[in-house]
């Protein structure tokens, strides 16, 4: 009987060590994923800021062309919305 208890205790300790090892692996993986996501968000934000800056420069250089493009996009959007609304 004492041998069974010792074997069971060794098995439990081994299982606890394995659980601890798995916990460490999962924690590291989650931390790596969070770091990657934060990096991607920062890169996306920088890209968006660059695009906004480029758009501002373009509007300052070519104001009439910019107004024409915005007007055309508005007309096309209105036509698309009207077409989608009439399909019902």
Contact 58, 66 (CB under 8 A): yes
DSSP string, 17-58: HHHHHHHHHHHHHHHHHHHHHHHHHHHHHHHHHHHHHHHHHH
Q: What is the mean pLDDT of the chain?
A: 92
User: Tell me: the pLDDT tens digits for 41-82?
Assistant: 999 999 999 999 999 999 999 999 999 999 999 999 999 999
Q: What is the pLDDT of residue 26?
A: 96
């Amino acid at each position: 009987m004492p041998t069974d208890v010792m074997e069971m205790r060794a098995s439990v300790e081994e299982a606890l060590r394995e659980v601890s090892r798995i916990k460490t692996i999962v924690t590291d993986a989650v931390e790596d994923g969070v770091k990657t996501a934060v990096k991607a968000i920062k890169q996306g934000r920088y890209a968006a800021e660059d695009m906004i800056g480029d758009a501002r420069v373009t509007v300052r250089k070519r104001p009439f062309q910019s107004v024409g493009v915005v007007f055309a996009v508005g007309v096309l959007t209105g036509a698309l919305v009207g077409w989608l609304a009439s399909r019902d």
